[in-house]
Structure 1
Amino acid sequence: MAVIAHLRVPADSFELGRILELEADGTIELENMIPMGEKAVPFFSVSEDVRESFERNVENHPSVDRIVEVTRHDSERLYSLDWNVSRDVFFQGIIDLQGQLLSGTGTVDTWEFEIRFLTHERLGEFQDHCSNAHIPLEVGRIYNPVRPGTGMWYGVTGPQREALMCAVQGGYYSIPREMSTQELADELGISDQAATERLRRAIETLTENTLVAMQEERDEEFEQPLDS
């Protein structure tokens, strides 16, 4: 069964972390890794407060062939990076073991990744790979996704999570109710109708990707013919 692992790595312990070096507080979000021939092209967003030093460091790095600004949005810019992934032992290990990079966030000192592996054994092989390469790897939460593609939040979006957590913590579902729909909406900064709809979508998505998915998987197991 596939597993998703949350990993933390020092920024200076792998090639891409050194390429994307930050000189000040800020973050880099790795949006995607697109295979293009023998290369893996990362797309990542950079906050405006570190953009200038980031561009200067990346453009001067010997492993980088080209960096392209793809889009701008408010205080962030999206870039693509043309680089030689074979020089990066960390990412080459992900590719060789057929891991799928779901997310990555970098700061001055540390990168945190969410990576899906086909099995627990593949994750173990990746840990051994990093150990042999002397890459300090801190493994955090490990879990089995209930439905493929839902990630650690089971498909519930950030705004939906915020609404659901605020409702539960504020007593919206308590008996007697301690928070009204309007109070919840005011807390979230949206209309009462939008708050109700956001809760409905969150509960529906969470139920579909956990209880319903688990029941479907259980039903499929019982439908399998017995070995003769």
Structure 2
Amino acid sequence: MVEFTIATERFELGQMISEKSGLDAELERIIPTEECVIPYVWVTGPPLQLDELQETLRQSDEVSSFTALDELVVNGTDKRQQLFRINWVLPELDIIRGIINADGAILEGQNTDGYWLLRFRFSDHEQVAQFYQYLTDENITDFQIDSIYELEARSERGKVFDLTPEQREAITLAAQRGYFSTPRKVTLTELGDELDISEQAFSQRLRRATEEVIHSALNIPHIEIE
């Protein structure tokens, strides 16, 4: 598993989204084909900027077609969230080309402050080395590899948090549904409904799980109150 930060201009699809003021994006997955790649990406922002993005996609030479598959209202705001399926013709120097050439699988991504955070998977270290060689050959230097780890190591790392199954379920669901995002994409009531428990019960599980993770990650001792 590789967690990777790349400047937006090295990821052309990401740049196309990021250059629109007020838009945030989360890459859900990418499906490679012989002719192109098909990314699925959630884009959040004001309706006007989303309309402008669709017009940009229509005019782009790199986009052979796209479809807005779904649209959601962001609670408490005037923003919308749209899921795009895009048929994208890859430029040779695009970062995604390097990942696919090395037989990597792109799992997710998110834009932030002029950079894209990408997470992808290779089957062995030789493929990681091939990807790094692609970056070197194409003189791509504006990136940072945040971490490389084995899936097994990640699983073991997760066990250090002394969570109950209920607490682990709650904090995992909250993270997956965007509760910790800004703005939040889901409420405690909605999360509780998914587990068929009350808002208060879910809130207590999440608070205890979050406290345990923070104490374990930062090695902070628990304070016993008498």
Q: TM over 0.5, yes or no?
A: yes
Q: Deviations over 1:18-54 (max 9, x none)?
A: 3434221431111111234533211111103341332
> Does structure 2 conserve the Cα–Cα contact (< 8 Å) formed by 1:100 and 1:116?
yes
Moved more, 19-28 or 56-65: 19-28
SS at match of 1:118: coil
Letter paired with 1:69? A
Moved more, 22-31 or 86-95: 86-95
Identity over the aligned pairs, expressed in percent?
20
> Does structure 2 conserve the Cα–Cα contact (< 8 Å) formed by 1:14 and 1:88?
no
Letter paired with 1:79? F
1:85 and 1:104 mapped to 2: Cα distance? 17
Q: Deviations over 1:135-184 (max 9, x none)?
A: 22211022211289x7x968x66733769xxxxxxxxxxxxxxxxxxxxx
Taking the TM superposition and a 5 Å limit, the aligned residue runs for 1:2-151 are 4-49=1-46, 50-74=49-73, 75-85=80-90, 87=92, 89-107=94-112, 109-135=114-140, 136-146=142-152
From the CA coordinates, give the structure whose radius of gyration is larger. 1
Q: How many residues are aligned here? A: 172
Taking the TM superposition and a 5 Å limit, the aligned residue runs for 1:209-224 are none
2:207 and 2:199 mapped to 1: Cα distance? 12
> Does structure 2 conserve the Cα–Cα contact (< 8 Å) formed by 1:20 and 1:57?
no
Q: Deviations over 1:87-108 (max 9, x none)?
A: 4532122112111111111246
> Does structure 2 conserve the Cα–Cα contact (< 8 Å) formed by 1:22 and 1:53?
no
Letter paired with 2:53? F
Letter paired with 2:146? G
SS at match of 1:146: helix
2:6 and 2:40 mapped to 1: Cα distance? 19
Q: What stretches of structure 2 of length at least 5 have no aligned partner?
A: 74-79, 160-167, 176-191, 193-197, 210-226
1:110 and 1:27 mapped to 2: Cα distance? 12
> Does structure 2 conserve the Cα–Cα contact (< 8 Å) formed by 1:11 and 1:108?
no
Letter paired with 1:115? F
1:47 and 1:5 mapped to 2: Cα distance? 26
Superposed CA RMSD in Å reads 3.5
Letter paired with 1:111? W
SS at match of 1:65: strand
Letter paired with 2:5? R
SS at match of 1:126: helix
Letter paired with 1:60? Q
Name the residue aligned to 2:199: 190
Residues 65 and 197 from structure 1, CA distance in 2 versus in 1: closer, same or farther, beyond 3 angstroms? same
SS at match of 1:59: helix
Residues 157 and 93 from structure 1, CA distance in 2 versus in 1: closer, same or farther, beyond 3 angstroms? farther
Shift of 1:120: 2.4
